[in-house]
Amino acid sequence: MVKSIIKLKNVSKFYYSKGVIATGFTKVNLEFSMGEFVAIVGESGSGKSTLLNVISGLDTYEEGEMYINGSETSHYSEDDFEDYRRKYIGNIFQNFNLVNSYTVYQNVELVLLLNGAKKKNIRKKVIDLIKKVGLYKFRNTKVSKLSGGQKQRVAIARAMAKDTPIIIADEPTGNLDSKSALGIIKLLSEISKDKLVIIVTHNYEQVEDYVTRKIKMHDGRVLEDRIIKEHQDVTLDQARVYKNIRFLSKIRLGIRNAFNIVPKFLLVLLVYLFITASLMSEYGSFKESEYISSKSGYNQYFQNTEDTRIVIKKNDGSAFNDDDYAKIKSINNVSSIVYNDLLLDTSIDLSDDNYWISATVNNISNFNKKLDYGRMPENDNEIIVYGNKDDYYIGYLKDEILDKELYLRDLYTGELDKSVGLKIVGISYNDNSNNYYGNSEIYVSDKIIDNLTYQINQQYSKLTVMFQGKYYDVNNYDQNFRIVPKRDIQDGSVYISSDLNYLCKNENCINSTLSIDVNNLYYSDTLELKVTKTYDKKNMESLVGIKDYDTYNGNIFISSNDYNKMFNRDNYQSSVNVLNVEDIDSTITKLNKAGYNTLKISDTLVQEGNTEVLKIMRTIVTIILVVVLFFISYFVIRVILKSRNVYFATIRMLGANRKVSLQLLIIELLTVANLAYFTFIGILKLNELSVINVGIFNTILKYLKINDYVVIYAILIFISYLISLKFAKKLFKNSQKGYSFYKIQLSKNNKKILTNKNI
């Protein structure tokens, strides 16, 4: 005697809804064996479908015992039933439950892939099955284009491909004309030779020539159970091994699902493009405002606040020598060195009666900007002005100041030094319209720099003159003293005004001693000089080349050599300019390693308002944006993917577990997310190539660096992943209460089809 594969002993199924108990079926006792072809008949509502669902493991039962291949199932968990369905049950439905967007081939192939087959190994098997159900001609046709009868043939081919010992068909011919129906019944009869096939039908006459057994149900009970004819005994092949879906198959199916319904694909792509564009725009403008606020600070010590500037000193406080400068220059990313960087922080006036430009000074050899007007200097007295377009003189009057000769205002006397005219031959604008703090620069020759260096060094030093036993503070303008170098004066000599003669013995200061004390941050020194000449109103011009005696009679003229000795000393502080601001920190590290103390100028800026608070606000805004984007896209994608419920119910019925279904969903959405991301990058590229020109794209291109793109990509993938999780949670929610998930999804689908048919 062959053991029955399914045995129900006093099994009852109840439905509880809103406190009311409905009976699915009661006290059913049935046994089924391999080789049987069973027809279940009975009026509507008699419990046929409920019985099939319990046998299929799609639904639970409340009372009695069900045995599967001899083992009792009351202790079965969801996973056990999942496993059971996978190994034992092939379902065929009245409404087919095929994947309409797949071809016939893909539908049959799907079940094999889900159960671990290798794509290239199953081609022949799939084609054979399609031939068997007579659809070879339609193998590459989308299922949605087939007739009902053809669809049910695909469903049978799929069930055969799954190759389970039990096939359960709930009204498989309910939607078919009688000719197609007969074909299906014949096929099922064929299959039943080595399987157990149970069908529900309303039309017993149609099947009675084929079935081996008839069960009639009435009001939830088995009314009649009759053998129609003998069936062949078949032994159950226990050796079947089911594998999990292969990784590559998951990727394939996920990608196929991403594209195979074109309108759905385009809508999801649009959603992801929207997310990508929003993230990039927000991030780009965030970076832009961060950059602008970093540039727009001010500083009371440094006038030149270019973000490329690093102030350097030697660790031991000594002066820089040529070796130092050579070493610094060889460091990667160092574009130029300003030896005496006090220049950079001293405001110089360039003026005449009508024009006034206030600027810091830089060496022409450090000019690495774009020239907007004019040309490069060709001699020592030609200069370039760099500043803001909105500046009145540099911007509005650019045509007037170009080729104009202007004069430097003496740092001491406040007088314009008309002895040397500086001609503006080039104008360059900074690109930052927020840099409004008058950070204009003039780029001048070495010779002008030397001249200015002395003035600046004097300004940064405390100078006292001791003359006739009395100290005079040179920096005190009331004294009107000023130390001026003259090339043709002998070293050690000094010329003073004859007005000072009254201080000396016999009202004659010739041969008396005058000493100059220099005191600054780095050194102090004293220079002892002997008065060799005095000048007066008449001989001043011939002696030192200056006419205006009344203004300059406080001048103390010394030799250029002595002056150099006092003021053109070694450099103790210099500045380095870097080529790429992005790499400034690594340049600083290298400078530190080489033995120099560094100060990054952009770190010394004092910002208006509290930037930390601004940063935190901005971060909060970004987080809110991500959350809002997530919810918007989740709800939109949920609406778009609503039709996918049936797909997931179907693949789970075919053997994909929850995890696999979720993975397929994740791959599907990630595919589109990636496509959207790289499409957007492509659009940015078009903008870069000036094919299009969109303001926000320019901002993104300018301020986002490669790591920012990576961060945005990660956020996008994360959002996409969360959407998949949330969608899946919603999708599979029902499966927590019993195993009704499939039933609900599939019967929803059923209703839809029925209403469609009614229309």
The C-alpha atoms of residue 450 and residue 342 are separated, in whole angstroms, by 12
Tokens encoding 437: 């703090």
How many of the chain's residues bind Mg ion (CB under 5 A)?
Answer: 1
Residues 6+ positions from 6 with CB-CB distance below 8 Å: 30, 31, 32, 55, 66, 67, 68, 166, 196
Q: Which stretch binds Mg ion (CB under 5 A): 24-32, 49-57, 316-324, 583-591?
A: 49-57
Q: Work out how close the CB of 232 gets to ligand ADP at its nearest, in angstroms, rounded to a whole number.
A: 29
Select 49 or 435, whichever has its Cβ closest to Mg ion.
49
Q: Which does 650 bind (CB under 5 to 8 A by kind): Mg ion, ligand ADP, none?
A: none
Q: Which does 333 bind (CB under 5 to 8 A by kind): Mg ion, ligand ADP, none?
A: none
Q: Which does 22 bind (CB under 5 to 8 A by kind): ligand ADP, Mg ion, none?
A: ligand ADP
- CB neighbourhood size of 267 (10 A): 17
Q: Which residues sit opposite 358 in a β-bridge?
A: 349
Q: Which stretch binds Mg ion (CB under 5 A): 46-54, 365-373, 377-385, 388-396?
A: 46-54
Q: Work out how close the CB of 42 gets to Mg ion at its nearest, in angstroms, rounded to a whole number.
A: 9
Q: Which residues sit opposite 309 in a β-bridge?
A: 577
The C-alpha atoms of residue 482 and residue 394 are separated, in whole angstroms, by 32
Helix, strand, coil % in the chain, rounded to nearest 5: 45, 25, 30
Q: Which stretch binds Mg ion (CB under 5 A): 42-50, 148-156, 448-456, 606-614?
A: 42-50
Would you mind telling me the total number of residues written for the chain in this entry?
759
Q: Work out how close the CB of 758 gets to ligand ADP at its nearest, in angstroms, rounded to a whole number.
A: 18
Q: Work out how close the CB of 49 gets to ligand ADP at its nearest, in angstroms, rounded to a whole number.
A: 3
**How many angstroms separate the Cα of 450 from the Cα of each of 141, 408, 426, 447, 486?**
86, 14, 21, 5, 14
Q: Work out how close the CB of 24 gets to ligand ADP at its nearest, in angstroms, rounded to a whole number.
A: 4
Q: Work out how close the CB of 257 gets to ligand ADP at its nearest, in angstroms, rounded to a whole number.
A: 29
Q: Work out how close the CB of 170 gets to ligand ADP at its nearest, in angstroms, rounded to a whole number.
A: 7
> Which bin fits 219, alpha (ψ -120 to 50), beta or left (φ > 0)?
left
Q: Which does 195 bind (CB under 5 to 8 A by kind): ligand ADP, Mg ion, none?
A: none
Tokens encoding 293: 């606020």
Select 49 or 340, whichever has its Cβ closest to Mg ion.
49
Select 49 or 735, whichever has its Cβ closest to Mg ion.
49
Q: Is 645 near Mg ion (CB under 5 A)?
A: no
Q: Which does 172 bind (CB under 5 to 8 A by kind): Mg ion, ligand ADP, none?
A: none
Q: Which does 657 bind (CB under 5 to 8 A by kind): ligand ADP, Mg ion, none?
A: none
Q: Work out how close the CB of 233 gets to ligand ADP at its nearest, in angstroms, rounded to a whole number.
A: 30
Q: Work out how close the CB of 46 gets to ligand ADP at its nearest, in angstroms, rounded to a whole number.
A: 4
Q: Is 175 near Mg ion (CB under 5 A)?
A: no
Q: CA quadruple 677, 678, 683, 684: dihedral positive or negative?
A: positive
Q: Is 750 near Mg ion (CB under 5 A)?
A: no
The C-alpha atoms of residue 102 and residue 98 are separated, in whole angstroms, by 8
Q: Please give, one letter per residue, the 3-state secondary structure of 644-707.
A: HHHHHHHHHHCCCCHHHHHHHHHHHHHHHHHHHHHHHHHHHHHHHCCCCCCHHHHHHHHHCCHH
Q: Which does 46 bind (CB under 5 to 8 A by kind): Mg ion, ligand ADP, none?
A: ligand ADP
Q: Is 173 near Mg ion (CB under 5 A)?
A: no
Q: Give the closest residue to 67 by CA, choosing from 58, 59, 57.
A: 57
The C-alpha atoms of residue 232 and residue 234 are separated, in whole angstroms, by 6
Which residues in this chain contact ligand ADP in the complex, by CB under 6 A?
15, 17, 22, 24, 42, 44-50
The C-alpha atoms of residue 308 and residue 577 are separated, in whole angstroms, by 5
| Strands, E assignment, 57-101 | 63-68, 71-72, 89-93
Select 137 or 737, whichever has its Cβ closest to ligand ADP.
737
β-strands 71-72, 441-444: how paired?
A: unpaired
Select 24 or 426, whichever has its Cβ closest to ligand ADP.
24
Residue 535 CA, distance from chain mean position: 74
Select 211 or 328, whichever has its Cβ closest to Mg ion.
211
Edge-first strand listing for the sheet containing 334-338: 334-338, 573-578, 309-314, 596-600
- For residues 90 and 188, the answer to whether their CB atoms sit within 8 Å is no
Select 18 or 179, whichever has its Cβ closest to ligand ADP.
18
Residue pointed to by tokens 């078949």: 234
Q: What is the end-to-end Cα distance of the chain in Å, rounded?
A: 52
Q: Work out how close the CB of 49 gets to Mg ion at its nearest, in angstroms, rounded to a whole number.
A: 3
Q: Is 439 near Mg ion (CB under 5 A)?
A: no
Select 44 or 419, whichever has its Cβ closest to ligand ADP.
44
Q: Which stretch binds Mg ion (CB under 5 A): 43-51, 190-198, 428-436, 461-469?
A: 43-51
Q: Work out how close the CB of 55 gets to ligand ADP at its nearest, in angstroms, rounded to a whole number.
A: 12
Select 174 or 284, whichever has its Cβ closest to ligand ADP.
174
Q: Which does 17 bind (CB under 5 to 8 A by kind): ligand ADP, Mg ion, none?
A: ligand ADP
Q: Which does 50 bind (CB under 5 to 8 A by kind): ligand ADP, Mg ion, none?
A: ligand ADP
SS3 91: strand
Q: Which stretch binds Mg ion (CB under 5 A): 44-52, 112-120, 375-383, 592-600?
A: 44-52
Edge-first strand listing for the sheet containing 166-170: 89-93, 166-170, 196-200, 37-41, 213-218, 221-227
Q: Which does 149 bind (CB under 5 to 8 A by kind): Mg ion, ligand ADP, none?
A: none
Q: Work out how close the CB of 208 gets to ligand ADP at its nearest, in angstroms, rounded to a whole number.
A: 19
Select 55 or 159, whichever has its Cβ closest to ligand ADP.
55
Select 49 or 645, whichever has its Cβ closest to Mg ion.
49
The C-alpha atoms of residue 647 and residue 247 are separated, in whole angstroms, by 20
Q: CA quadruple 505, 507, 512, 514: dihedral positive or negative?
A: positive
Q: Work out how close the CB of 55 gets to Mg ion at its nearest, in angstroms, rounded to a whole number.
A: 13
In this chain, which residue has its C-beta nearest to Mg ion?
A: 49
Q: Work out how close the CB of 90 gets to ligand ADP at its nearest, in angstroms, rounded to a whole number.
A: 19
Residue pointed to by tokens 């150099």: 564
Q: Which does 15 bind (CB under 5 to 8 A by kind): ligand ADP, Mg ion, none?
A: ligand ADP
Instruction: Indicate which single residue of 49, 180, 498, 512 sits in contact with Mg ion (rule: CB under 5 A).
Output: 49
Q: Which does 24 bind (CB under 5 to 8 A by kind): Mg ion, ligand ADP, none?
A: ligand ADP
Q: Is 276 near Mg ion (CB under 5 A)?
A: no
Select 12 or 49, whichever has its Cβ closest to Mg ion.
49
Q: Is 56 near Mg ion (CB under 5 A)?
A: no
- For residues 325 and 620, the answer to whether their CB atoms sit within 8 Å is no
Select 170 or 382, whichever has its Cβ closest to Mg ion.
170
Q: Work out how close the CB of 54 gets to Mg ion at its nearest, in angstroms, rounded to a whole number.
A: 13
The C-alpha atoms of residue 638 and residue 267 are separated, in whole angstroms, by 11
- For residues 306 and 604, the answer to whether their CB atoms sit within 8 Å is no
Residues that bind Mg ion (CB under 5 A): 49
